[in-house]
Amino acid sequence: MSKNKKVTMSDIAAAAGVSQSTVSLVLNGSNSVKIAEVTKQRVFAAAKELGYTNPKVFHALGRPKKIALVINGLSNLDPFIEAINGAHEEAWKKDFVLVTFNYGHDEELAKKIEAEINNGEYSGVIYASSMTRALEKQQVSSRLPTVLLNCFNHANKDIPSILPADMIGAYRAVQYLIEQGYEHIAHITGESWMLATQYRLEGYRQALIDADIVPSQAYVHEGNWSLKEAYLKTHEMLSLPKPPQAIFCSSDYMAMGCYQAIFERGLNVPKDIAVVGYDDQPIAKESFPALTTVELPYAEMGKQSVDTLCALIDRQPILSLRRKVEGMLIVRDSVKA
């Protein structure tokens, strides 16, 4: 294989005659699945034969250096999985294997994970939250280089954090609606205590104010991230003496409830009323009409968390301790241009 070509897990799997998942488990040093020692040695031999011999990756025992990603809870359908996937890909590009630990709010398990991370085989740790939030305390060991992903720590501001630029995303969504000629723009929010809700509401209001449009409380309704609540709140707003011309929803999922209420009224999207969502989930592209939305840049956030951690490991300067990653406005068919 050419020295200029990046060696991948697929290359190693093909050379060793095993599955890609087996390669991942072996290079992770995972003990969750029992793998024959002869198979492990075949994987290590194939990796070295293909030129994957970076000393940063292999210990004296032939095991890779690792980065830990610790998360406090995640479901299979959680869009935050994209951040973890992005982190895994970037770590592999940088000759690290990223190992994910999910302690699901179990503090005893969290302590065991911390002990595992501090056993000398990890170069750094990414502490992640599927929900944007402030940490009440430092929940991971500070003995290793540490980056916070989708969370931040008021108590220790020296720990770099990677966050979504939710306020800017919401601002762009509403600004786009204003540019298309809409003035009476409503907003269906998530749960009011959540930072994502607060930032998106702030972006919505600021875009209106900058366009000399006075925000109306009659057009702001809490939808609790629920399709049903969004459906009910849309019906309420459509019954107002002056119903909105457009509705900005804090999630694509809520936008689907919005669609349903609009169609039940015999109205058309976008001919009679425009709808914009947030997150750019698969349902946004597959809905009819296809939903204009704002990308939630989880994959890029995951990659940047690894980049930042690698800079800390290499003792390089960090340009920003709190980096906010912007998502693109994706224009589709739910807004009349």
CA distance 165 to 150: 10
- Of the candidates 82, 94, 11, 78, the one whose C-alpha atom is nearest the C-alpha of residue 46 is 11
pLDDT band per the 50, 70, 90 thresholds, residue 142 = low
Work out the mean pLDDT of the chain and round it to a whole number: 87
Which tops the pLDDT comparison, 118 or 56?
118
State the average pLDDT over residues 61-83. 75
Helices (H), 29-152: 37-49, 81-93, 107-117
pLDDT score for 54: 43
**What percent of the chain is modeled with pLDDT above 90?**
55
Per residue in 190-235, pLDDT (tens digit) is 999 999 999 999 999 999 999 999 999 999 999 999 999 999 999 9
Whether residue 62 is predicted with pLDDT greater than 50 in this model: the reply is no
pLDDT band per the 50, 70, 90 thresholds, residue 30 = low
pLDDT score for 115: 84
Write down all domains in the chain, each with its CATH number in brackets: 9-163+299-325 (3.40.50.2300), 166-296 (3.40.50.2300)
Instruction: List the beta bridge partners of residue 164.
Output: 325
DSSP assignment string, 143-173: TS-EEEEEEEESS-TTS-EEEE-HHHHHHHH
Whether residue 59 is predicted with pLDDT greater than 50 in this model: the reply is no
The 3-state DSSP class for residue 236 equals helix
pTM for the predicted model, two decimal places: 0.78
pLDDT band per the 50, 70, 90 thresholds, residue 33 = low
pLDDT band per the 50, 70, 90 thresholds, residue 61 = very low
Ramachandran bin of 29, using left for φ above 0, alpha for ψ from -120 to 50, beta for the remaining angles: left
* Residue partners of 99: CB distance under 8 A and separation at least 6: 28, 30, 66, 67, 68, 69, 122
> Are 294 and 330 in contact, with CB atoms under 8 Å apart?
yes
Which tops the pLDDT comparison, 193 or 65?
193
State the average pLDDT over residues 65-69. 88
pLDDT band per the 50, 70, 90 thresholds, residue 57 = very low
* Residue partners of 267: CB distance under 8 A and separation at least 6: 238, 273
- Of the candidates 133, 337, 334, the one whose C-alpha atom is nearest the C-alpha of residue 248 is 334
Which tops the pLDDT comparison, 323 or 118?
323
pLDDT score for 141: 55
CA distance 48 to 109: 35
pLDDT score for 137: 60
> Are 146 and 311 in contact, with CB atoms under 8 Å apart?
no
Per residue in 233-268, pLDDT (tens digit) is 999 999 999 999 999 999 999 999 999 999 999 999
Which tops the pLDDT comparison, 125 or 7?
125
Whether residue 63 is predicted with pLDDT greater than 50 in this model: the reply is no
The backbone torsions φ and ψ at residue 97, rounded to the nearest 5 degrees and listed phi first, read: -105, 130
CA distance 136 to 133: 9
pLDDT score for 254: 97
Q: What is the largest CA-CA distance in the chain?
A: 75
CA distance 296 to 164: 7
Whether residue 60 is predicted with pLDDT greater than 70 in this model: the reply is no
